[in-house]
Amino acid sequence: MLNLSLLQRQIIESPLHSRLFVTGMAGTGKTTAGVERIRFLLEQGVPADSILLLTPQRTLQEPYLELLESPNRMAGGEVTPATIGGLVRRMCDLFWSFAAEQAGFLNPELPPIFLTLETAQYYMAHLVRPLIEEQGYFESVTIHRNRIYSQIIDNLNKAAIVGFPHTEIGTRLDSAWFGDPAQRNVYADAQKCANLFRQHCLENNLLDFSLQLEVFTNILWHNQQVRNHLTQSYRHLIYDNAEEDISCSHDIIREWLPDLDSALVLYDQAAGYRKFLGGDPTSGWDLSRHCEEVIEMNESFVSSGNVIQLSNALTTAITHTGEVDSQGTETAMEFIVSHFHPQMLDEVTTKIEMLVANGVPPDEIVVLAPYLSDSLRFSISNRLETAEIPWRSNRPSRSLRDEPASKTLLTLAALAHPQWQVHPPKFDIAHALMFALNTDLIRAQLISEIVYGQRDLRLSTFDQINPETQERITYALGERYSILQTWLEEVRGSEPMPLDFFLRKLFGEVLSQPGFGFHENLDSVRVAASLVESIKKFRTAMEPLNLNGVDLGQEYIEMLKDGVIAALYLESWRSEDKHAVLVAPAYTFLMMNRPAAFQFWLDPGSDGWSQRVSQPLTHPYVLSRSWDETPGRLWLDADEAANEIETLSRLTSGLLARCREKIFPALSDLGAAGFEQRGALLKAFQKVLQNQQAEQ
């Protein structure tokens, strides 16, 4: 039985006609109250299918899903967990015949094709690549092409979120620019590409996220039949993390609130971590004016008093808003300092070993960095594996093509489809055999040097290897290799099948069997599932327009080569080992909305803790609703500096609100790149330490 506070019980057991707005810092029990409110509604006989659970992204629904998927929950209908994007897509699909012609689609009698982030980038690349290569678009931009595609899509999303025409994107960006005149050409090119993409969507019934939002907010939501369908279907709303949601979502909920029997809106103070994705804490807070009662929760159920004191001291040091009070902060942090970066990672691992040895569960430890590069991820995970400490990692921006499991699957797919003319190098074959056959790299390289014919894309049989070498490789490994080689040969001689079908068959009949690499590797199984889902969605979106009979498997491989990232798959968050040390970017941890006893903050001297990623084709603050309030305003260095202070303040307070006992800032004299670091977070820590010494 949960030990609930009186305030939580007041929220949970409020009348079935109440509309409450609950605010407070992370860790004050708001989500717990939201979960128990759903339980209370069900116990009071409220039909489950009349309850809508809304969050900005699906990962924030985890605590609710534990209740909704529990075998102990009440029988009956199903509560609907949704994001505004999911809700909008369902309505566009259901009322397509009504909206299609009004929205300007050229073939309203044909069904819609909904695009994922991946397929939207594919179509964008198809349209923009010729402009870059033949007409010199984005000549002054030095970022990778996949980032060009994604930033144009982001511009379209921001226009739909804020509610201005997509044809005004370039004008808005240009009007706020102060600097090199060449940047104005970049904005003009981005506008032309956005227009071209939107026209292509309208001609082919393609709906990316931005077009789905526009169709719903501009057409469907204003139709009484559509609105009645929603308001009659859902009578009770639980809206968690409202501060992270987008402006148009808040607009919809604000208009919907009077029609609801009950509503519980939960709002994190000092949050707003998804601003760069269009999150709008200001319009989220405005919902409080449309609820009958505002309840503020101040008591933290997570952080100790010393951690709260450290949070206050750091926030004061970052924002320069007063005297830094460091009293009581000594026990809330412990620095790990070394000269070189690898030494620092060694000491972090040693400290984690000590904590685990002293009985701290691995899932109560998180290792956080502003950005988690492949090299940093490998360095940490390799050390944890050597220390036999379970770990898991989550990095939503990491492409599927970078995962060892997906590299293996796609390399084997190339061998089974010689018509693609994709010739993997020998190292890729060795890597795939090592992973697939569950062996070491030396044996895998030895096999690949002998059996792989790069020109004809074929693996020879194990029998063709001389007996002496067979003994070195071992016959047990040779047997597994023979099973895989025979299977691939049989597929080469059979009728072609869709790539996702092929991978399911390869996984089920070979790689998941005892002795093979995917048999007990749950992380690899998760990656394989995400890859298959990604390919399936790509094929579903492409098939209706594939009039020339292009091999969609080959097209998918080319898309990955172009650097298109994988969409966020909920499976990657839900199937991982929860009883392990988490290694993740700081913002990813925040959006998991879970606490940990001990946090390791890597490289606090890095500017990455406060500076936003360079986005030459877009601007998350200029393309926001708050910027509309001051027309003609320029984005200046002072704005950037103020934004960095606010971002760092929100980030540190959010992390410490999710810390039970202690943080370990871990820094080296020379950073990973070999340079001394003097970032704003490190300076704030220094202020706190100086005050500690002065008070002693």
Q: What pLDDT is stored for residue 355 in this prediction? A: 97
Distances (CA, A) of 295 to 8, 17, 257, 446, 654: 10, 16, 17, 67, 20
Domain 6-89+223-297 matches domain 330-398+577-695 at the CATH topology level: yes
Is residue 129 within a helix (H) or strand (E), and if so which, with residue range? helix 117-135
Cα 304 to the center of its chain, rounded Å: 29
- Pull the structure tokens for residue 266: 């939960």
Helices (H), 358-474: 374-386, 404-416, 426-436, 441-451, 467-473
Residues 6+ apart with CB under 8 A from 3: none
For residue 208, CA distances in Å to 118, 202, 257 come to 10, 11, 28
List pLDDT tens digits, range 46-88: 999 999 999 999 889 999 998 888 877 666 679 999 999 999 9
What pLDDT is stored for residue 691 in this prediction?
A: 83
Tokens of 300: 């933290």
Task: Count Cα neighbours of 119 within 13 Å in the Cβ-side half-sphere.
Answer: 22
CA 233 to chain centre: 30
Tokens standing for 233?
A: 């279907």
Given phi > 0 = left and psi -120 to 50 = alpha, else beta, which region is 238?
Answer: beta
Question: Across-strand partners of 453?
Answer: 458
Domain boundaries, the chain: 6-89+223-297, 113-208, 330-398+577-695, 400-562
pLDDT in tens, 542-600: 888 775 678 888 888 887 777 665 544 444 445 456 789 999 999 999 988 889 999 99
Calpha distance 266→20 (Å, rounded):
8
Phi, psi of 390 (to 5 degrees): -65, 140
Helices (H), 296-373: 305-319, 341-357
Residue of 232, 237, 260, 262 whose CA lies nearest to 15: 262
pLDDT tens figures, 127-160 = 999 999 999 999 999 888 888 999 999 999 999 9
The answer to whether the beta carbons of residues 242 and 188 sit under 8 Å apart is no
Indicate the fold that domain 6-89+223-297 takes in CATH. Rossmann fold (3.40.50)
* pTM: predicted TM-score of the whole model, two decimal places: 0.87
CB atoms within 10 A of CB 621: 15
Burial class of residue 603 in the structure, from the number of CB atoms within 10 Å of its CB (0-12 exposed, 13-18 middle, 19+ buried): buried
Which numeric CATH code is attached to 330-398+577-695? 3.40.50.300
H or E stretch covering 19: strand 19-24
Say if residues 339 and 668 touch (Cβ distance below 8 Å): yes
**pLDDT on residue 674:** 64
Return mean pLDDT, the chain: 90
The DSSP symbol for 460 reads P
DSSP 531-592: HHHHHHHHHHHHGGG-TT---HHHHHHHHHHTTPPPPPPHHHHHSS-SSSEEEEEHHHHHHH
Beta bridge partner(s), residue 667: 337
pLDDT tens across 12-56, in order? 999 999 999 999 999 999 999 999 999 999 999 999 999 999 999
Question: For residue 638, what are the contacts with CB-CB under 8 A and spacing of at least 6?
Answer: none
Q: Tell me if residue 665 falls in helix, strand or coil.
A: strand
Query: Distance between CA atoms of 593 and 63, rounded to whole angstroms?
Result: 9
Q: Which amino acid is at 600?
A: F
pLDDT digits (tens, 9 = 90+) for 305-334: 899 999 999 999 999 888 888 887 889 999
The predicted-structure confidence for 400-431, as pLDDT tens digits, reads as follows 667 888 899 999 999 999 988 888 899 999 99
